[in-house]
Structure 1
């Protein structure tokens, strides 16, 4: 496997997040928790790895997410959860993941705490999705995600109605919701991207507005 030279942006990310080591934390006792891997490819033009959950699933069907899933009793830590799930879902060998940061734990709209880990993977690593869980695994150029003009709004059907929500459109995929929150906070913190969608705040009910990120939000704890 030929080694791709690091892009300057990867060095910038690593330096910016050096104070936030990838500590392998444990879930809270009695709490159902999850972990995901925000994987960046090591290449001249880095990309972010996403999955699209299968349409036949009972929950989160068809949604775009990061590789990851629920903590299991056999997992040594939430970091182990993220690496195990990434290997199961997209065949990403854990020994090829250079984990460089633990991002802030966030809670989904349904109340599940999720710990995201940031990792760098080889640019030419072959990824394949598990069709029992996923419809696709795909990559989006980091440069695309850093452009405010690509952060748009679209109508989504939720349990209590249809709402205009922020998202990225990339091909046939829409990146939104919890995954978008984690992504935007990472881009703003690690790269000072200054991405935001405050223009949508007044159009949403309070229970959804609370999950939108503002530019003034705190940095990583």
Structure 2
């Protein structure tokens, strides 16, 4: 009758695995192989990148949906979070998330309209985090959806204007994009400065970007 070897504690597993894999050229001893075999679930849980990324996503307050962006165009749902149509492969939101990571952002957030937004509760907050070095060979980044709170009284149009300010657009360019007059844009910016307690459009853009209080230009056509 074969004696069952109880798996050692996690530190002992790690030490045995390190010796077996890196300090010897031959196969590990039978007892070590048995211990490692019995500990596969624990080891897999510890090194599974999706679980690791899911733990980081759980730090986003109120997160209800999230995916891991694969290196190609696919996505994998984060454990413990729900599916959402916004996070399907090839969606405009997923494309926008990939763009901000490609532009060099390690961690950022922005707003996304649910439909043709007309009120503050018509948005979701999108939090995008790039994978750290070492994990970037497995995945591209993480996208999490959460409630859009703390909008400082900014209207959907003002949030849209802020998206253009973040991109460095002039009043004329904003007016052309939104099909309004430059005077209307100037009025929006005046209201934005007051609501963000900013003394210039540049400061307003910086504060909006840091707080995720803007709609990216890729979502402007959805309003």
TM-score between the two structures when normalised by the length of structure 2: 0.24
Q: Greater strand percent: which structure?
A: 1
Larger of the two Rg values belongs to structure: 2
- Structure with bigger RCO (C-alpha 8 Å, 6+ apart): 1
